[in-house]
Amino acid sequence: MTDRRSFLKTAAAASAAAAATPLLGSCQTGKDKYGIGLDKSLQSKLIVEPGNAVPITGTFLDEISTDIPHQNWGEAEWDRDFQYMKKFGIDTVIIIRCGLRKWMTYPSPYLLKKGYYYPSVDLVDMFCRLAEKYGMSLYIGLYDSDEYWYTGVYNNEIEINRFIIDELWERYGHYKSFKGWYLSYEISRRSKGAIEGYQKLGQQCKELSKSKEYPNGYPTFISPIIEGIKGVSAQSAQLRRADRPDIMEHMRDWDEIFEGIHEFVDACAFQDGYNDYDEIEDYISVNKMLADKWGIHSWTNCESFDRDMPIKFLPIKFDKLRMKLEAAKRCGVEKAITFEFSHFISPQSAYLQAGHLYDRYLEYFGKKI
Amino acid sequence: MTDRRSFLKTAAAASAAAAATPLLGSCQTGKDKYGIGLDKSLQSKLIVEPGNAVPITGTFLDEISTDIPHQNWGEAEWDRDFQYMKKFGIDTVIIIRCGLRKWMTYPSPYLLKKGYYYPSVDLVDMFCRLAEKYGMSLYIGLYDSDEYWYTGVYNNEIEINRFIIDELWERYGHYKSFKGWYLSYEISRRSKGAIEGYQKLGQQCKELSKSKEYPNGYPTFISPIIEGIKGVSAQSAQLRRADRPDIMEHMRDWDEIFEGIHEFVDACAFQDGYNDYDEIEDYISVNKMLADKWGIHSWTNCESFDRDMPIKFLPIKFDKLRMKLEAAKRCGVEKAITFEFSHFISPQSAYLQAGHLYDRYLEYFGKKI
Amino acid sequence: MTDRRSFLKTAAAASAAAAATPLLGSCQTGKDKYGIGLDKSLQSKLIVEPGNAVPITGTFLDEISTDIPHQNWGEAEWDRDFQYMKKFGIDTVIIIRCGLRKWMTYPSPYLLKKGYYYPSVDLVDMFCRLAEKYGMSLYIGLYDSDEYWYTGVYNNEIEINRFIIDELWERYGHYKSFKGWYLSYEISRRSKGAIEGYQKLGQQCKELSKSKEYPNGYPTFISPIIEGIKGVSAQSAQLRRADRPDIMEHMRDWDEIFEGIHEFVDACAFQDGYNDYDEIEDYISVNKMLADKWGIHSWTNCESFDRDMPIKFLPIKFDKLRMKLEAAKRCGVEKAITFEFSHFISPQSAYLQAGHLYDRYLEYFGKKI
């Protein structure tokens, strides 16, 4: 039998033990198994003006990916990622495409009839719900056959998306978070049928989504590539190409494209990773000038992966991201989105460089971690 | 001196402190440094029938690797990996090869005489012990000179393995976990000497390991490649090839190979990653038909890495794994093994996508995490 | 009001709870969410003589990288990395280059006039401070235009570095940790102007840093490549090359180079990753013999990344590192440095294989973790 004295002793011993290092372990002291910890009071000593850049407020959701390996997240991890996005300042998420080749993000009756692959989860539904939960606007990208990259022809693209747009509206139109359309061809320069494709699909999207709040239909946007020095295939071992159009050709081409599509496309976010860092500002300013001319909103797609490394692709170096966002600010760009948060910036990314990029970004913009 | 009252106060204070949040820190609340946690109650909403697939019950151990970077695990990490395997449902582990070019998994007297490299750990011994500890069957793979890939000739392979098989049996034959042989040539189609090689080596393995329990010797198996559209070198920047034999040629070739080897090979697990996803079922069903014809057990080697990405190689997308295992079930495949658990599925893999694949798999098969 | 009895009860309950599993959670018990833990008592069973090798006591700091993706660490992470280095046995850190193409590690007035990119942090200053804090010697590498790789001409290199060396000395010469210069051309064989470049820049570095302690100026060192079988571009999909000079040509070339530079270069650390593992000892012994002949200290740059894998580059397999350091010991090499600790060995590296390499290394050298 335990008398009071020994009972007290036991209680005290347990308490003491609970407070001691061996019991409470590393998570208490912040030391790892080597006895080494992180001194969080150490701040990086910035020698540039902090926050003098366009903040990133949108991101693609690249869940059907062409060249970025999948992270295999379930709904719990996606929920957490939306929390990380929110803290980062993201208010807009864009499903990059709702189908790619034979892969789908949702069980499309139209694509199933073609024998395409049934997904295990309805990702469009999940992203609509998560965007609603965290108060973000969701853009849904169209189906991408991947054929036009090789053929230059968009006929099939247009034909299929006529059905896809209707399906998307019918299935997900009721979600309040669904706020816009992403026309997902990554065209560059004039491609046969591209202008017509943007017109037709943009028009259909807008017709369908007209409402009191959006009398002309939901906004649409595009995010084209630039045929720059880094415009090589992800499958290529090379990082640069020798031939490419110069900036004047780029300007003439896009003047013509914007002329053709400006009635059906509300914003344009050129991908900013195809040029050398000292060319980027020139390109952004030309793009801004053209967009202003044709009444299109100037966004930038600030790529958060590094195009200069033999591993294709890991998170970008913070200073590269910063320089691109600073250039965007100097040019008066309205909004920066990124490709993309979940692999290249998220603290839970499989690429651990991403979480440090997240921290550097918050540090630069003076946000608390 | 401490009186009883103050002593009690101290005890109570320590207890209270131990229970409080700031002391116990983030591991208690599940929140990270951003104040963000994972809501484990969120389940992915599956829209496919769960578990309607052949489960993975075997894995290669790729500790001497040709193209997958090494994780540098010690015995403690390997012990933990066997625990992860066990929970996943693995009952069979296969040492993919006991030597490769000049590298060895064990200090082979025969290979040492050739000047090959002395290993710092006897991995075969370690894997035998771990398989025994966790109640798994271990297959040991033979020596792989890597020469036949380039020469098409297996003479050297056969000559060396005559000695290696004897060494393996002498050194590790006493382990109860040692239950079978893996004939490690990854041949495809008819290669000069391959059939003869399988015959000779299979026969030697079986002769040596005859026992009451195994009157014909331990089982042997092979895991050949399929000359499919993704049959390109890991060192190539390309992902696909233009030329390849069609499925009828594949059938005729393997009918001939099986005819030659069926007396010495008990099971065949074709690698399932070389074909497009909508071709896989055709290939598996042809393979099953041929294996049945020749009395060989039909396994499948369900690759758990992604062949479609520019980074060669990271863990596969769960839906791709699922589709292959579903196809295997529809075709009546007996057992699925994978290449391989420790890099591409294990929760302690250096590739963090792997742990999420583990979770998706358990979720799909209705197992608790 | 709480009487003493219930007070005691509460205290005891809190204590008990604090010691119980559900409250203290996984970090206490060492079990993860799967209920699986690491049994730290399990030691790898080494079958080689432990520690019979040159220890690594120096590392490059590759913060301006050509081909290794950036980790995005802030000062807190760098501070922690110096702690990991210290425990590992590092006493020397080398900034691999203070500028590369248009990128800088510090705000160089000279390079800014050329329009090069302003960095967000003065990395040279940070590394000087951290080396001072942790009692290490810091070598600073010169500016690298990257042009000579393509042109074979070093004129521009010499011209620019004349200014850079002065800037470095003026800005950072007062740091006690600043102890040497790294002449950062990775030349191999005779390149036009290379010898003259080493002479001029080595002389300038030494003149500037003469002191009582260093009457001939701070020590300088180089770390050349060897034109070996693995001497292929990081951007190439290939791992090996067919043509290469043989070891006799290597010897003749370097005899001539050493003759030209030995007055201005104190140590030479050839990169040890370009040869096959059974050629390495021959190369190191030739290098040692030549260095002895010309009065240059023999170091080795023991690369800690793997050149044999399709992912370029991840941490090396421990046995490969061990074999190279063993060969260095047999040849009498004085000091081993590595390229580089922070990506390929550090426990906080984004490549998790690195932390396991750290553990294997400490285990082999009989150091406690």
With contact defined as 3+ CB pairs under 8 Å, the chains touching A are B, C
C-alpha closest to that of B305 among B315, B295, B296? B315
Q: Give the span between the Cα atoms of B312 and B283, in whole angstroms.
A: 24
* Shortest Cα distance, chain A CAs vs residue C363, angstroms: 13
Residue A18: the pLDDT is: 38
H or E element in which residue A5 lies: helix A4-19
H or E element in which residue C4 lies: helix C4-19
List the structure tokens of B158: 């056969």
Residue A20: the pLDDT is: 35
H or E element in which residue C163 lies: helix C155-172
Q: What is the pLDDT of residues B37-89, one digit of tens each?
A: 999 999 999 999 999 999 999 999 999 999 999 999 999 999 999 999 999 99
Q: Give the span between the Cα atoms of B369 and B356, in whole angstroms.
A: 11
Instruction: Band the pLDDT of C47: cuts 50, 70, 90.
Output: very high
Contact B14 A11 (CB under 8 A): no
Q: Please name the member of A28, A74, A83 whose beta carbon is closest to the beta carbon of B360.
A: A74
Count other C-beta atoms under 10 Å from residue B156's C-beta: 13
**In C, which residues are within 8 Å of B83 by CB distance?**
36
Return the residue of B nearest to A310 by Cα. B311
| Look-up of token digits 């880094």 | A230
Return the residue of C nearest to A14 by Cα. C15
Query: In angstroms, how far is CA C245 from the centroid of its own chain?
Result: 27
If you average pLDDT over residues A356-366, what whole number do you get? 98
Q: Please name the member of A18, A45, A353 whose beta carbon is closest to the beta carbon of C75.
A: A45
Q: Give the span between the Cα atoms of C127 and C75, in whole angstroms.
A: 9
C-alpha closest to that of A121 among A109, A139, A104, A133? A104
C-alpha closest to that of A355 among A98, A80, A53, A5? A80
**In B, which residues are within 8 Å of A115 by CB distance?**
278
Q: Give the span between the Cα atoms of C308 and C276, in whole angstroms.
A: 10
List the structure tokens of C170: 């003026």
Residue B240: the pLDDT is: 86
Residue A192: the pLDDT is: 63
Between B198 and A139, residue with greater pLDDT: A139
List the structure tokens of A219: 């906004």
The full DSSP string for A280-302 is: HHHHHHHHHHHHHHTT-EEEEE-
Query: In angstroms, how far is CA A187 from the centroid of its own chain?
Result: 18
**In C, which residues are within 8 Å of B115 by CB distance?**
278
C-alpha closest to that of B67 among B347, B368, B339, B369? B339
Contact A27 B32 (CB under 8 A): no
* Shortest Cα distance, chain A CAs vs residue C114, angstroms: 12
Residue C236: the pLDDT is: 84
Q: Give the span between the Cα atoms of B9 and B4, in whole angstroms.
A: 9
If you average pLDDT over residues C345-356, what whole number do you get? 98
Backbone angles phi, psi at A61, to 5 degrees: -110, 110
Return the residue of C nearest to B71 by Cα. C353
Count other C-beta atoms under 10 Å from residue A91's C-beta: 14
Count other C-beta atoms under 10 Å from residue A148's C-beta: 21
Contact A120 B322 (CB under 8 A): yes
Q: Is the pLDDT of residue C9 over 70?
A: no
Q: Is the pLDDT of residue C2 over 50?
A: no
Weakest-pLDDT range from A40-54, A303-317, B10-24, B74-88: B10-24
List the structure tokens of C352: 């998790």
Contact criterion met (CB below 8 Å) for A185 and A157: yes
Instruction: Band the pLDDT of C326: cuts 50, 70, 90.
Output: very high
Q: Give the span between the Cα atoms of A315 and A294, in whole angstroms.
A: 34
List the structure tokens of C69: 């993706």
Residue C185: the pLDDT is: 78
Instruction: Band the pLDDT of C255: cuts 50, 70, 90.
Output: very high
Weakest-pLDDT range from B110-119, C53-62, C238-247: C238-247
The full DSSP string for C71-96 is: ----HHHHHHHHHHHHHHT--EEEES
Q: Is the pLDDT of residue A9 over 80?
A: no
Q: Please name the member of B76, B117, B236 whose beta carbon is closest to the beta carbon of C38.
A: B76
Q: Give the span between the Cα atoms of B360 and C110, in whole angstroms.
A: 55
C-alpha pair distances (Å), A143 with each of A154, A178, A233, B307: 12, 17, 21, 23
Residue A255: the pLDDT is: 95
Contact A68 B309 (CB under 8 A): yes
Return the residue of A nearest to C233 by Cα. A310
**In B, which residues are within 8 Å of C278 by CB distance?**
102, 115, 117
* Shortest Cα distance, chain B CAs vs residue C204, angstroms: 43
Q: Which residues pair with B21 in a beta bridge?
A: none
Contact B47 A122 (CB under 8 A): yes
**In A, which residues are within 8 Å of B41 by CB distance?**
76
List the structure tokens of C101: 């193409």
Backbone angles phi, psi at C39, to 5 degrees: -90, 95
C-alpha closest to that of B188 among B118, B244, B239? B244
Residue A17: the pLDDT is: 38
Q: Is the pLDDT of residue A163 over 90?
A: yes
Q: Give the span between the Cα atoms of C130 and C134, in whole angstroms.
A: 6
Q: Which residues pair with B181 in a beta bridge?
A: B140, B220
Q: Give the span between the Cα atoms of C17 and B28, in whole angstroms.
A: 13
Helix (H, G, I), strand (E, B), or coil: what is residue B100? strand
Q: Is the pLDDT of residue A197 over 90?
A: no
Residue B169: the pLDDT is: 98
**In B, which residues are within 8 Å of A72 by CB distance?**
315, 317-318, 353, 356-357, 359-360
Q: Is the pLDDT of residue A262 over 90?
A: yes
pLDDT values of chain B reduced to their tens digit, one per residue, 369 residues? 445 455 445 444 444 433 333 333 445 568 999 999 999 999 999 999 999 999 999 999 999 999 999 999 999 999 999 999 999 999 999 999 999 999 999 999 999 999 999 999 999 999 999 999 999 999 999 999 988 766 767 778 889 999 999 999 999 999 999 999 999 877 766 666 788 889 999 999 999 999 999 999 999 999 999 988 888 888 888 888 878 889 999 999 999 999 999 999 999 999 999 999 999 999 999 999 999 999 999 999 999 999 999 999 999 999 999 999 999 999 999 999 999 999 999 999 999 999 999 999 999 999 988
Residue C119: the pLDDT is: 98
**In B, which residues are within 8 Å of A37 by CB distance?**
none
Q: What is the pLDDT of residues A81-111, one digit of tens each?
A: 999 999 999 999 999 999 999 999 999 999 9
Give start and end residues of each alpha helix (H) in B26-154: 26-29, 75-88, 109-113, 123-133, 148-151
Q: Which residues pair with C267 in a beta bridge?
A: C221, C297
Instruction: Band the pLDDT of A177: cuts 50, 70, 90.
Output: very high
Weakest-pLDDT range from A50-54, A227-231, C351-355: A227-231
Contact A42 C369 (CB under 8 A): no
Residue A187: the pLDDT is: 72
* Shortest Cα distance, chain C CAs vs residue A238, angstroms: 6
* Shortest Cα distance, chain C CAs vs residue A2, angstroms: 13
Q: Output DSSP code: residue B317.
A: P
With contact defined as 3+ CB pairs under 8 Å, the chains touching C are A, B
Q: Output DSSP code: residue B212.
A: S
Q: Is the pLDDT of residue C23 over 60?
A: no
Residue B28: the pLDDT is: 52
- Average pLDDT of chain A to the nearest whole number: 90
| Look-up of token digits 């010309």 | C294
Weakest-pLDDT range from A213-222, A244-253, B321-330, C92-101: A244-253
**In B, which residues are within 8 Å of C17 by CB distance?**
19
**In C, which residues are within 8 Å of A42 by CB distance?**
74-76, 79
**In B, which residues are within 8 Å of C311 by CB distance?**
69, 311-313
Contact A38 C369 (CB under 8 A): no
Q: What is the pLDDT of residues C189-235, one digit of tens each?
A: 666 678 888 999 999 999 999 999 999 999 999 999 998 888 888 88
Weakest-pLDDT range from A60-64, A198-202, C237-241: C237-241
Query: In angstroms, how far is CA B274 from the centroid of its own chain?
Result: 17
* Shortest Cα distance, chain B CAs vs residue A150, angstroms: 15
* Shortest Cα distance, chain A CAs vs residue B129, angstroms: 27
List the structure tokens of B311: 């980074």
Angle (CA) C137-C156-C150 rounded to 5° is 95
Q: What is the pLDDT of residues B322-363, one digit of tens each?
A: 999 999 999 999 999 999 999 999 999 999 999 999 999 999
Q: Please name the member of B8, B16, B75 whose beta carbon is closest to the beta carbon of C43.
A: B75
